[in-house]
Amino acid sequence: MTSKPATYLDYNATAPIRPEARDAVLRAFELAGNPSSVHAAGRAARDVVETARKAVGELVGVVAGSVTFVSGGTEANVLAIDSAVASGVKRIVVSAIEHDAVVETAAASGVSVSVLPVDADGVADLSKLSELLAGEGRTLVCLMLANNETGVIQPVAQASAIVRAADGLLHVDAVQAAGKIAIDFSALGADTLALSAHKIGGPQGVGALVAGTRANVVRRQHGGGQERGRRAGTENVAGIAGFGAAAVAALRDLPQAADQGIWRDALAQRVKDAGGVVLGEGAARLPQTLCLAAEGFASQVQVMNLDLAEVMVSAGSACSSGKVKASRVVEAMGRSDLAPFALRVSGGWASTEADWIVCGDAWLAAWKRIGARRREVA
Ligand code: PLP
């Protein structure tokens, strides 16, 4: 008996590892050396790290020296915010749709935090930014490049112009945008930018903080002088090797990344025809992310029904404990009514048109069953 392969459309949670990244990880495991050692084995490990640094830099248009390797997107965000606070910022502005890593680090930073609202499509409302930047001392603004739940792309370059005019700093969480749309760090006008390997087809547990000349990266953990004193601890050589290989492949595949948008939109149409809603549809979005909602069809019920059909997707917001909570992002968009019903479908480098169709079939079948049951009860 041949079994149908499962359909994986949860790339915004973690992308499957790319073959190039897996190979690079395995090759790196064969190296014995510590990249800080001066002998041949150490130099070979150092070479792997520096080759990867160059590749990760190229993904976002910066030189290798701007890249600090860390343990993932979370740490990159934490390092950026803590560094800005250590450098003397007096206030932090976070958009209403930032990842918990940003929201909670800002909240724990000890400086005052204000929230930049988003409009009904989930786009940051920049008309409010100047007023939030006003006041004594410097402000750090955190605005992600693309949202993890809706895929909505944020007006980062426009925000940067406002932030610069007020002599503020801008941190950009580009964890979800990387590898899905082209990124040019200078054109964005960011001071710091967070990346994560496992969202682009690299291994989990490795990421990078990109820092421009205005940012001062201040080490958070003390120890050795690795990463030019910015992040102590022996580098995750294999993880970094995989990150570098994934960055090369992601940059190479960018022209094809837009294909997902056609397949995504076809599924969106089927959902809308059946009475569902697509969130953020009026804004520019990552081509491979779909956030949908259907009133009465709870997020976790959708996830479970699709899982039974061997289709893997996420609730709008699944926290690390695996519990599903109402989507904070959908609430910020003024759709609290839909927040308990949000579902995120996200494809990526290995997704096919068939995956999106299978997902649509499974979703529609489940939605029909739910509708029939609701009619029976009524
Ligand atoms: N930022 C965003 C927008 C994310 O979606 C995620 C992961 O879901 C992170 C940061 C955290 O990245 P990591 O899992 O590498 O810590």
Q: Do 221 and 184 belong together in one domain?
A: yes
Q: Do 67 and 185 belong together in one domain?
A: yes
What total of structural domains would you count in the chain?
Answer: 2
**Residue 197 within any structural domain of the chain:** yes
Q: pLDDT truncated to tens, each residue of the chain (378 aa)?
A: 445 579 999 999 999 999 999 999 999 999 989 999 999 999 999 999 999 999 999 999 999 999 999 999 999 999 999 999 999 999 999 999 999 999 999 999 999 999 999 999 999 999 999 999 988 889 999 999 999 999 999 999 999 999 999 999 999 999 999 999 999 999 999 999 999 999 999 999 999 999 999 999 999 889 999 999 999 999 999 999 999 999 999 999 999 998 899 999 999 999 999 999 999 999 999 999 999 999 999 999 999 999 999 999 999 655 545 566 778 999 999 999 999 999 999 999 999 999 999 999 999 999 999 877 776 766
CATH number for the domain spanning 328: value is 3.90.1150.10
Report the residue among 11, 98, 196 best suited for mutation to probe ligand 1: largest number of ligand atoms under 8 A from its CB: 196
**Residue 1 within any structural domain of the chain:** no
CATH number for the domain spanning 156: value is 3.40.640.10
Q: Do 198 and 285 belong together in one domain?
A: no
Number of other residues whose CB lies within 10 A of the CB of residue 371: 15
**Residue 158 within any structural domain of the chain:** yes
Q: Are 99 and 231 in contact (CB under 8 A)?
A: no
> What is the pTM (predicted TM-score) of this model?
0.96
Q: How many helices (H) and strands (E) does the chain have?
A: 12, 13
Q: Do 11 and 151 belong together in one domain?
A: no
Boundary (domain end) residue, out of 210, 232, 251: 251
**Residue 2 within any structural domain of the chain:** no
Cα–Cα distance measured from residue 20 to residue 27, given in angstroms and rounded to the nearest whole number: 11
Residues in the chain: 378
Boundary (domain end) residue, out of 251, 278, 293: 251
291 is catalytic: no
| Cβ of residue 148 lying under 6 Å from some atom of ligand 1 | yes
Boundary (domain end) residue, out of 251, 268, 289: 251
Tell me how far the alpha carbon of residue 186 lies from the centroid of ligand 1, in angstroms.
Answer: 22
| Cβ of residue 60 lying under 6 Å from some atom of ligand 1 | no
Nearest CA to ligand 1 atom 12: 73
**Residue 212 within any structural domain of the chain:** yes
| Cβ of residue 71 lying under 6 Å from some atom of ligand 1 | no
Nearest CA to ligand 1 atom 8: 13
Cα–Cα distance measured from residue 358 to residue 362, given in angstroms and rounded to the nearest whole number: 6
Cα–Cα distance measured from residue 221 to residue 239, given in angstroms and rounded to the nearest whole number: 20
Q: Do 167 and 55 belong together in one domain?
A: yes
Containing domain of residue 220, as a range? 19-251
